[in-house]
Structure 1
């Protein structure tokens, strides 16, 4: 018998496969990276059950498709996560990558009023932020990303209409892209809904506010520019400023401002004035909060 067993073995073609070996990010195109899904901690991934479209394959590549929006504290990009050569469900999706800037590059200067009532567990981080060191600025940016991540996860678990949070990694949040016919859904401020849809939109928004207030939460920056219109439904976005109604000294003030912003917009579009009384809506919300 030959001592070289390999010469006596015939490979079953069912157990052979083609593959391409990559050596780090140098093999990827500019603007691409390997999926960071497995690089983050489990608690930094979206809540289960996850939608079928979420790509979890280690073979996936993230490719930046371009900037979607610039904001006061962060910029949003479109990002495709896909397994090359695969057309299976769950092997390709387009998401929003929201990336928070360091404090020196932000134009949002009212952040202190939103962060009252929040605690920084690490004393070193707290000192660094207070002294505005480079490290402190990076910690602050990460805290805003973490705040929005936690708000998205909590709202999703409450069944509220928000983008599904896919993952958070430092100052970057990946979330569901809300689109209509392949284009980013319009902001509510850009729409001119007819009377029946306008009334339905208001009821949807009222239901969101009631649920949040029952949980002791306030969006804090609600306006027609932070709501997307997806056909006959609304999706609330931009949640980093969400505050605790009780723990934040300005919680009730923020809630009244949210009510005022939305009621005035709906009133200007012709909704029944009896429905768009911001003081009445505020009173209804406060009644369920305590």
Structure 2
């Protein structure tokens, strides 16, 4: 038997007792670890960040902007309601590491089947399919499960649209993450740092009005070149962030080819916007705009 084995047999219990009772000060300094103990429960209105808990495809596209907080130790704090709607409500949410200001984002939360009402949804979902046949049947029958699937469908539809359009360069909020029926996205602000108003609420001068119209024309054209239409575009879902317009509310984006109602929805988008611009004193013809935009889709 080796010398090591003899020593082990004679002193095993004594050595174990000494090691467990040894004060921390006697260990080498290199072994010391700094750590902070976090409470499991946070105060009401707060939660731990879920950014790293959702799947990679449920996080925003690269390159991730510098302002996005991605650390696991960050805390989300509810700041109140920004906007209410028939299908979803938008809340203000601050995500920050302890001791930092963090960033305020928009949290769009789709309502469950008991508290929402999607109008004209059939026109928007024509040509869409869900992966599982069980879900497709439930949607067709309008069962409780089908209504729950529909809620998730609209959330993921907006997430997919935001991600794709951001990568295409369309002026939309950066999509940070999706978790169930909650979308976290960039909070679009004006020069004053406050949430940007909707286009319907602003009164631009003639030069800015003309610039706004050109931005609208370009946004519609970018969508059409991708074979898409917003489907519900109006001055109420375009934000005026100073001199820049940002398009929001995208769950109903339609395929101009797969959806038979696509061209009609595009014409309605053009009509809604041109009507607003005419009322502000700018010459804008919806049929001319529609013809210009639709020609880029083919």
TM-score, normalised via structure 2 length: 0.89
Aligned to 1:211: 222
Q: Give 1:104 deviation, angstroms.
A: 3.2
1:16 Cα deviation from its structure 2 partner = 4.5
Residue of structure 2 in register with 1:9 after alignment: 27
Of 91, 94, 112, 1:77 maps to 91
Give the superposition deviation at 1:143.
0.3
Match of 1:237 in 2: 248
Report the Cα offset of residue 108 of structure 1: 2.7
Deviations 1:29-62 (A, max 9, x none): 1011111112211001000001001111110111
User: Could you tell me whether the CA contact under 8 Å between 2:113 and 2:144 is conserved in 1?
Assistant: no
Q: Does 1:182 align with 2:193?
A: yes
Is the CA contact 1:102–1:140 (under 8 Å) kept in the aligned structure 2? no
> 2:130 aligns to what?
120
For 1:106, the equivalent position in structure 2 comes to 116
Q: Give the alignment partner of residue 266 of structure 2, picking from 248, 255, 259.
A: 255
CA radius of gyration, larger in = 2
Q: Partners of 1:136 and 1:39 in 2: how far apart?
A: 27
1:131 positional shift: 2.5
Q: Aligned in 2, Cα 1:86/1:183: closer, same or farther, shift over 3 Å? A: closer
CA positional deviation for 1:21: 2.9
Shift of 1:130: 2.2
- CA-to-partner distance for each residue in 1:110-154, whole Å, 9 max, x for gaps? 111100010111011112222322222211100000000001001
CA deviation profile, 1:137-182 (whole Å, cap 9, x unmatched): 2111000000000010011001010000001111111000011223
Root-mean-square deviation (CA), in Å? 1.7
Per-residue Cα deviation, 1:193-220 (whole angstroms, up to 9, x for no partner):
0000000010011011111101100000
Scaled by the length of structure 1, what TM-score is found?
0.91
Gaps of 5+ in 2: 1-13
Q: Which consecutive residues of structure 1, in runs of 5 or more, have no partner in the other structure?
A: none
SS in 1 for 2:172: coil
